[in-house]
Amino acid sequence: MTCEALIKEAVTRIGGDSPKLDAELLLSHVSGLSRTSFRAWPEREVTAEQAEQFFLLVAERVEGKPIAYLLGQQEFWSLPLKVSASTLIPRPDTECLVETALSIALPEAAKVLDLGTGTGAIALALASEKPAWQITATDRIAEAVELARENSRNLNLPITVIQSHWFDDIPAGAFDLLISNPPYIPASDRHLREGDVRFEPASALVSGDDGLDDIRLLVIQGLAWLNGDGWMMLEHGYDQGEAVRELFACAGWRNIETRKDYGGNDRMTLARKPASD
């Protein structure tokens, strides 16, 4: 079959918001051809084996499986990251967390701890911009730890990756920045039964009845892992800004500020460790 015919058939089957983009990405994945070539040479044919593999992936996409899992890769901060079903798929809005971390005044060789790293997206994005920073990343899931290490090697961006449930197995030491995209979805949220999140690990998404259980823990326990002027930055839900600011305030943090994502929604809150007496 020609590329044009394969894509046309796949678009009909997939439906949804971006069926042509999905079809082109999947065909490029199995054929090794670029999306541009499909438009320049639509009459080009692929092998029967490639066509069969393509339609197997199309069938999975029809069932709702995320494109990133089908391709095994997702771009974040212009970095091609390997992904798997053991980790959250990196989102563009999380890049706002990286931008904020790069915007504050930190030491030249800052010590940074990325908590719940998943693919290593945040830690590796920071390492790509700040090679002198000493970056440690953690995750409690062994498969995620190995994936983050693999991405680190593939991108030649050295970071230290440790298996730990939050701070449980982190060596003692004062960090300049604690950064995290923790689980923050309430267990009853209807969106957990819709779209890509149906296929993502619940442990990376859900955090108690109000979605704030892990954020509460990080806000309280994080104080003991920061130096005197250290910062914490947490991603959270679009409607959780006020609640997260209140958690920081109740724990005595200073310079508390919520910032917005690319869609203009409250998406992350940062705060500084309380001043010493």
Query: What is the model's pTM?
Result: 0.88
CB-side neighbour CA atoms (13 Å) of 4: 6
N-to-C CA span, the chain? 74
Q: What is the chain's pLDDT, residue by residue, as a tens digit (277 residues)?
A: 888 888 888 888 888 778 888 888 998 888 888 888 888 877 888 888 988 999 999 999 988 888 899 999 999 999 999 998 888 889 889 999 999 999 999 999 999 999 999 999 999 999 999 999 999 999 999 999 999 999 999 999 999 999 999 999 997 778 999 999 998 777 766 666 666 666 666 666 676 778 788 999 999 999 999 998 899 999 998 999 999 999 999 999 999 999 999 889 999 999 999 877 4
3-63 and 77-272: same fold? no
Fold designation for 3-63: Helicase, Ruva Protein; domain 3 (1.10.8)
> What pLDDT is stored for residue 246 in this prediction?
96
> What pLDDT is stored for residue 2 in this prediction?
87
81 has which bridge partners?
A: 74
> What pLDDT is stored for residue 17 in this prediction?
76
* Residue 151: both structure tokens together: 């991405």
Q: Where are the domains of the chain?
A: 3-63, 77-272
> What pLDDT is stored for residue 1 in this prediction?
82
* Residue 80: both structure tokens together: 């091609």
Write down the CATH superfamily of domain 77-272.
Answer: Vaccinia Virus protein VP39 (3.40.50.150)
> What pLDDT is stored for residue 33 in this prediction?
82
> What pLDDT is stored for residue 203 in this prediction?
66
